[in-house]
Amino acid sequence: MWFFNSPEIVFGEESLSYLEQLTGKRACLVTDPHLVQLGYAAHVQQRLEAAGFAVACFDQVESDPSTETALAGAAMMREFAPDWIVALGGGSVLDAAKAMWILYERPDMTPEAINPIEKMGLRRKARLAAIPTTSGTGSEATWAVVLTNTAERRKMGLGNREALPDLAILDPSLVMKLPPRQTADTGLDALTHAVEGFTSQWHNDFTDGLCLKAAQLVFQYLPRAYSEGSDAEARQRMQNAAAIAGLGFGNSMAALAHGLGHALGGVFHVPHGRAVGLALPYTIEYCAQGEAGSTRYGELARFLDLPHASEEEAAAALAAAVRHLERQVDQPLTLQACGILQADLEREMSLLIENAGNDTQTVTSTRIPEGDEMRGLFEAMYAGHW
Ligand SMILES: [Zn+2]
């Protein structure tokens, strides 16, 4: 038994005006200080007030949000008693808002206890609207929640199917000013979701088409959105790609590049999209060396028009295409180019190996590193070759 879940998705110009059609009394806006400064938070607040809501704002979500932030937001919600939670921001804000929502509805729970198995009974108190201001994480279209355990320097992949937003609003005006570096980082996250959603062990007929389309959109539009931020078409198509990839991997699973990327993010604070995008071509090469017939790079390469005569060639062509895209948007291709020192990598290696091995995304890879293989992956990512 398996499921396909999607929020209601409103997309295209003027999508934000849909907020005025929401019904309810009290809305809690969850965002970060930067979006307050840009005036985006005030803009959303005005729309909600125009719809008759009393609005309270939690604007202190940090990047890689901690369990403490989730608890602080939930405490504020218990006080204010919102019937809508409106999350405005990148993946960090959207994930934090989902965790706050769960803890608001379930004060008996701790953040670490959020799990995909238990019935949560959400929506007795509130519903969730997600408004992304980056194009990549797809968090607006998934039930995944990534929180950081700050003391243990570990990212925790949590989540529950009920934590899928009720509504996702993709208004291109909110991503037009996204700086080039963040455009590239988050865009590569979307590509990694698309490729891993298509190739993970849990891929299925409902998600395959979404993943293929999202991958194609990223290859086509990310270089444009990166080099010319005011290119409205490229911005909108990247925004769509991110949500479509979110629906894809959110209803199948990500894989090894996310396991490695979460470990790197927790220990070295490499931004999520940069970390998983860097890991992606190495994991493609690694998985292609696994059991014959277990990968589907040929199908993906065919859809992306990458010439190949075998599954191995398809994997090589796909890894090369990812690296070419990364060069086009000036992304680091190695951990060394991320500014990580070899001595630091060695010192942290056992924690990286342990965290990547225990990550919830690693288990759905078509090839799971054994013995020294995880170390080999980190070393290859550091040096840029196997
Ligand atoms: Zn991701």
Instruction: Determine the distance separating the centroid of ligand 1 and the alpha carbon of 309, expressed in angstroms.
Output: 30
Residue numbers of the chain with a pLDDT score lower than 70: none
Instruction: Determine the distance separating the centroid of ligand 1 and the alpha carbon of 92, expressed in angstroms.
Output: 11
Greatest C-alpha distance within the chain: 62
Instruction: Determine the distance separating the centroid of ligand 1 and the alpha carbon of 66, expressed in angstroms.
Output: 17
Confidence (pTM): 0.96
Instruction: Determine the distance separating the centroid of ligand 1 and the alpha carbon of 271, expressed in angstroms.
Output: 10
Unique residue bearing structure tokens 């927790």: 266
Instruction: Determine the distance separating the centroid of ligand 1 and the alpha carbon of 41, expressed in angstroms.
Output: 24
Instruction: Determine the distance separating the centroid of ligand 1 and the alpha carbon of 135, expressed in angstroms.
Output: 11
Instruction: Determine the distance separating the centroid of ligand 1 and the alpha carbon of 136, expressed in angstroms.
Output: 8
* Per-residue pLDDT at 289: 95
* Per-residue pLDDT at 155: 83
Cβ–Cβ under 8 Å, residues 62 and 32? yes
> What letters, b where the CB count within 10 A reaches 16 and e where it falls short, cover 304-313?
bebebeebbb
Instruction: Determine the distance separating the centroid of ligand 1 and the alpha carbon of 192, expressed in angstroms.
Output: 7
* Per-residue pLDDT at 20: 96
Pick left, alpha or beta for residue 371 (phi over 0 → left; psi -120 to 50 → alpha; otherwise beta). Answer: left
* Percentage of residues in the chain having pLDDT higher than 70: 100
Unique residue bearing structure tokens 């995880």: 374
Instruction: Determine the distance separating the centroid of ligand 1 and the alpha carbon of 58, expressed in angstroms.
Output: 24
CA distances from 272 to 11, 19, 80, 232, 309 (A): 25, 29, 32, 25, 33
* Per-residue pLDDT at 369: 96
Instruction: Determine the distance separating the centroid of ligand 1 and the alpha carbon of 145, expressed in angstroms.
Output: 11
Instruction: Determine the distance separating the centroid of ligand 1 and the alpha carbon of 257, expressed in angstroms.
Output: 9
Instruction: Determine the distance separating the centroid of ligand 1 and the alpha carbon of 298, expressed in angstroms.
Output: 23
* Per-residue pLDDT at 154: 86
Instruction: Determine the distance separating the centroid of ligand 1 and the alpha carbon of 333, expressed in angstroms.
Output: 17
* Per-residue pLDDT at 357: 96
Instruction: Determine the distance separating the centroid of ligand 1 and the alpha carbon of 174, expressed in angstroms.
Output: 20
Instruction: Determine the distance separating the centroid of ligand 1 and the alpha carbon of 50, expressed in angstroms.
Output: 34
Instruction: Determine the distance separating the centroid of ligand 1 and the alpha carbon of 199, expressed in angstroms.
Output: 15
Residue partners of 287: CB distance under 8 A and separation at least 6: 199, 255, 256, 294, 295, 315, 365, 366, 367
Q: What residues are neighbours of ligand 1 (ion), with CB under 5 Å?
A: 189
